[in-house]
Amino acid sequence: MRLLHTADWHLGKRLYGLDRRDELRAALEELARIAADEAVDAVVIAGDMIDRRVTDAEPIGDALEAMERFAAVAPVIIVAGNHDDPVLWTALAPYLAMRGVTMLGRPAEPARAITTVATGAGPLHVGMLPWPDPARLGADVGATAQATKATYADMVRDIIALYAEELRQRRMREGGAAILAGHLMVDGALSGGGEREMTMGITYAISPQTLPADLDYIALGHVHRPQAVPRTASPARYSGSPIALDFSEDNHAKTASIVTITPERTTVTEIPLSAGRPLARIRGSLDELGELAAGHPEARFLVEVDLEVPVLDLVRAVREIVPDAIRVEPRYPPAPITTDGEASVDAPIQDLAEAYATWYSTLDRVLPDAQLEAFREALSATEHEAGE
């Protein structure tokens, strides 16, 4: 049995105000072509199809179009992610079912969360685990009041154990393959940087040992960097996002995951994806930027400019040298420190992101790159809205 595993499309996401709809649509078309070329028996989509729960119609339409394109190749199984609106996708599930798409918007008891799909290679049994929202987890799976007092990780572990037992029973009775499709954070996975920071901490992470030991494959979404999950007894993988979603992913190779399941073993083949334009960070003086950018053909850039003094209309000056500079950030020498430990009053003025990082350092804490990136994106979005 052959599967295409994908996740984390984040349709509707902007990069510092730049609409990347065409790139994302092209990436999904590329994935559908790969599914057809590889003659997959099913397509598994592990959540975060849309970037924001409250969104306009275009991203939803693009997601539905992609689902139908995949369904023309093979049956499609989808779980919602933390960015997806569970109410919307639960409401659409009956209509999607008529088009060859099995969708689950919220975690549920095994009777509803486990589905068996007929494929050309035999039955595929899937335990479907959408993002377990801590605020709703007990109610979604029908847990008792006592059970809801357990920790998040313990509750997710118990849900997965229930699913695994039913999956084993179905595989024993009916043959075929048994997999888990989940939108989860597994401890030990390397984050891409662009994931929502609040859902990446240890509070929301589950142990690799929580994942079942005897399933054929575990298809995961939530982490944007393609990777196998370490220390799991069953083969488990994050497919990653189909394009680099922000500059924290500038060093990730994006791939399609083709999963081949046989009675003996499961193997994953990665096929490079080319639809998304590369993202690159460069840093140097104005005179150095042209040469630095030339090393990244076709890329879009976050440009950090080393300056001694402020330059009027810096963005225009940079874009004359690097037309595809999406974000321009000045970088000044460190502020001189006086004998009393305070910055000199004539030190260069920092931008807001640098000031935030400086303030954070006064707390004797390390500012995560992803958190600083999110702060910059929030500033950029505010500037963009003010400009409109």
Q: For residue 287, what is the DSSP state?
A: G
What whole-number distance in Å separates Cα of residue 316 and Cα of residue 328?
10
What's the pTM value of the predicted model, to 2 decimals? 0.82
CATH number (2.60.40, 3.30.160, 3.30.200, 3.40.50) of 278-338 reads: 3.30.160
**Which residues of the chain have a pLDDT value below 70?**
138-150, 192-203, 335-351, 360, 362-366, 381-388
Backbone torsions φ then ψ of 264, nearest 5 degrees? -85, -40
What local confidence, expressed as pLDDT, does residue 388 receive?
Answer: 44
At the top level of CATH, the class of 2-272 is alpha beta
Q: Which residues of 377-388 are buried (b: 16+ CB within 10 A; e: fewer)?
A: beebeeeeeeee
What whole-number distance in Å separates Cα of residue 78 and Cα of residue 287?
49
**Do 226 and 240 meet the contact criterion of CB atoms below 8 Å apart?**
yes
What local confidence, expressed as pLDDT, does residue 199 receive?
Answer: 47
Amino acid, res. 98:
M
What lies within 8 Å, CB to CB, of 218 at 6+ separation is: 179, 180, 181, 182, 211, 212, 229, 232, 234, 235, 236, 237
Residues facing 102 on adjacent strands: 77
Q: Which residues of 158-189 are buried (b: 16+ CB within 10 A; e: fewer)?
A: ebbebbbebbeebbeeeebbbbbbbbbbbbeb
Every domain of the chain with CATH number 3.60.21.10 lies at 2-272
What local confidence, expressed as pLDDT, does residue 136 receive?
Answer: 74
What whole-number distance in Å separates Cα of residue 251 and Cα of residue 249?
5
**Do 251 and 240 meet the contact criterion of CB atoms below 8 Å apart?**
no
Neighbouring C-alpha atoms within 13 Å toward the C-beta of 226? 22
